[in-house]
Chain A
């Protein structure tokens, strides 16, 4: 399998497992670990963990919210002034998680590079 795909899958699994013990920044830890253990190259360094956590969070949110007719998601989407659209809120949530993961993966990558030289 392509390293990108492995990193993608492992980041999601690790992100899920760590979230059982750690607060929201568990996804940053997950991305950091996979970026060191399954190193990627170029823009994949950022975008693979970004997409992995985006998908993880968005799917998780969708499952929770869909089961409850998006009742709260609609209200929070209004609260955050994104037009009361629950799907947009799910996307925003995913992007936030993805950004956090992506940046910590870049940091992981720099640690490897630093040690190698």
Chain B
């Protein structure tokens, strides 16, 4: 056995160790996907199917969960329902089968839009401020730079609930309670620490010679920054932006404590989706699925930079 593998290379694992490793990893990956697949499956079930015992793996898919997610319905008498004309759309039809009529839109879409606005707004600001600060720290001798960088990082170590107490009071005074602007500023402050640390790493990797050449050429520092450094840092900026976006998109603690109505984002809203007589799990599954899909896409885009992002740039592969 050892003769076989050492004929190839001493470090290359043998074929059997590879096969065993592959089997175990694939089994783990499949098991770990079960909850996610179940979320998706539940989103396509009818409410009775979703709570049947034993849990149904095979079922007739329906869009009822998605309809219930986006609409509010009210129960009506059969006579009234019969008096109505043809159902206008598939959601209307499903509702009538359950002796209900669609009376309006649910709050899911506005909450989803809030999530989009707050996530993109805070990401833009965090990356903008972060890029400037990272360049400052990377290229210039800033007094106490290490202490300032540690201070920036330490702001992210604070437990969100502890930060939320004074923020709650401050926002109440300033009229920022339950506003998108308030949440954008808060998420920007949380994300800017990550942005500075990550981007400093990326900018450190850009050779200074490029800028120096530009300076010799008559560029000012600002011009060199805009025309030489920024284009080189595009990948790093994009990766940082996606990390900030995912954080703001996923955030729950601040959102649940500081927003209640107009500025509420999707994460605190989804757990409050209820149907008649308990949780409407297909609707929850639908809301969760729609909420998670963008992150799946981003994760795949980010996979090469994940390690760097989750360690604040400490490990770069």
Question: A and B: real partners?
Answer: no
